[in-house]
Amino acid sequence: MLKYILKRLSLLIPTLFGVITIVFFMIALSPGDPARVMLGERATAASIEKLRHELGLDKPLYVQYGLYLQRIVKLDLGKSIKSGQKVSEEIRDHLPATVELAIWAMIFSTSVGIFLGVLSATRKNSWIDFGSMASALVGVSMPVFWLALVFIMIFSVKLDLFPTGGRMNIRYYFTSITGLYVLDGFIVLLKSGDPKVLFSALHHLVLPAIALGTIPLAITARITRSSLLEVLNQDYIKTARSAGIKERRVIYRYALKNALLPIITVIGLQVGMLLAGAILTETVFAWPGIGKWLYHAIEARDYPAVQGGIIFISISFVLINLLVDILYSVVNPKIRLS
C-alpha cells in the first residue's frame, strides 16, 4: 500500500509543476498592463512604473518566472495589491467558509444522488426510473448561478423561508473557534445549551448547499444507476437471488459494493468541481469564502490574489484526485498490483 501511495505521489510532482507554470503564463501573458489596470486610467507614468517595479513586471519574463517558482517553493503566494495582506493568509481566512459549504453540498449530493441511482436501477423502466433520470438531466443542465437566483427569488423573497445570503444572523455575536459555523454551533450548544447559533448556521446553509450540490447530485445519480445496472446483470448476483438472499441485502451488500469504483471517481471529481462552482454560488449568496474572495480579486484586477487563488484551487483539485486513487486501492486491492 505504501509503495502504491509513493508511486502516485511521484506522478503528482510533474502535474503540480505543470499547473503552476500554466497559471503563471496565463496571468503574465494576459492582454494589457497589469499595473495600469490596477491603478486605473488616471494613474501617472511614475506611479505605474513604481508598481511595475514592486511587482517585478519590469524584469524579463523568464526572470519573473524564476522568481515566481522560488516563491512557490517557499509556499509564498505574494501579497494582495488590494489589501496588502499575504495571499496565503487571505486564503486561510476564507477557506473554512468554502470547506463548510462544500462539505454540506457534498453530503447532500452524495446521499441523495446514490439513493436516486439505486432507486432507478432497482426499478428500471418504471415511472420512478424515468422521473429520477429526467430530474437528474434537468439538474445537470441548470447553471449554478441561475439556480441560486431562482432559489433566492422563491424561497427567500416570495416565501421568506430562508435568508438571501451570509453565514449567520447578524444579531448573534459569538467567537468562531474552528471557522466552521455548524461545528461552532454544536460547541456553543454543548457549553451553554443555546441552539440559536447552530440553527442559524444550518438555516443559512440550506439554499447555497442545495444550489451547489445539484449538479454533483445529478451526475452521481446517473453514474450510480448505470454502474449498478451493469453489476446487477452479473452471474453472482443472479446466484445470490436464487439462493433466497433478501433483495435489500443483495443490492446493498453485494451489488452496490462492486459498483463503487465509478461512483467514487465521480464523487472525487465533483469535490474538486465544487471549489470552482463555489465561486458563483458564494457570489450570489454573499457567502464569505474563497470563491467570493477570488471573484472580488478578479474584479479589482488583483493579480497576485488571482494567481494565488487559482493555484490553491488547482492544487486542491489535484490532491483530491490523488485521494480518489488511494480510495480505489482500498476498495479494489487489485489496482495496487496492476
Q: What is the DSSP string of 87-130?
A: HHHHHHHHHHHHHHHHHHHHHHHHHHHHHHHHHHHHTTTSHHHH
pLDDT of residue 1: 63
| Mean per-residue pLDDT, 195-199 | 88
The pLDDT confidence band at residue 2, using thresholds 50, 70 and 90, is low
Integer Cα distance of 30 and 68 in angstroms = 16
The pLDDT confidence band at residue 332, using thresholds 50, 70 and 90, is low
Integer Cα distance of 307 and 23 in angstroms = 7
The pLDDT confidence band at residue 312, using thresholds 50, 70 and 90, is confident
Give the rounded percent of residues in the chain with a pLDDT score beyond 90: 9
* Each residue's pLDDT tens digit, 214-273: 888 888 888 888 888 888 888 788 788 787 788 788 887 778 877 877 887 787 777 777
Could you tell me which residues are beta bridge partners of residue 79? 86
Integer Cα distance of 227 and 264 in angstroms = 11
Q: Where are the domains of the chain?
A: 2-73, 91-337
Integer Cα distance of 82 and 60 in angstroms = 25
**Distance from the first to the final alpha carbon of the chain:** 12
pLDDT of residue 205: 92
* Each residue's pLDDT tens digit, 133-180: 888 777 778 888 888 899 999 999 999 899 988 888 878 777 788 888
**Domain 91-337 coded CATH 3.30.470.10:** no
pLDDT of residue 155: 93
| Mean per-residue pLDDT, 311-334 | 75
pLDDT of residue 215: 86
Cell of 111: 446521499
pTM over the 0.75 mark: yes
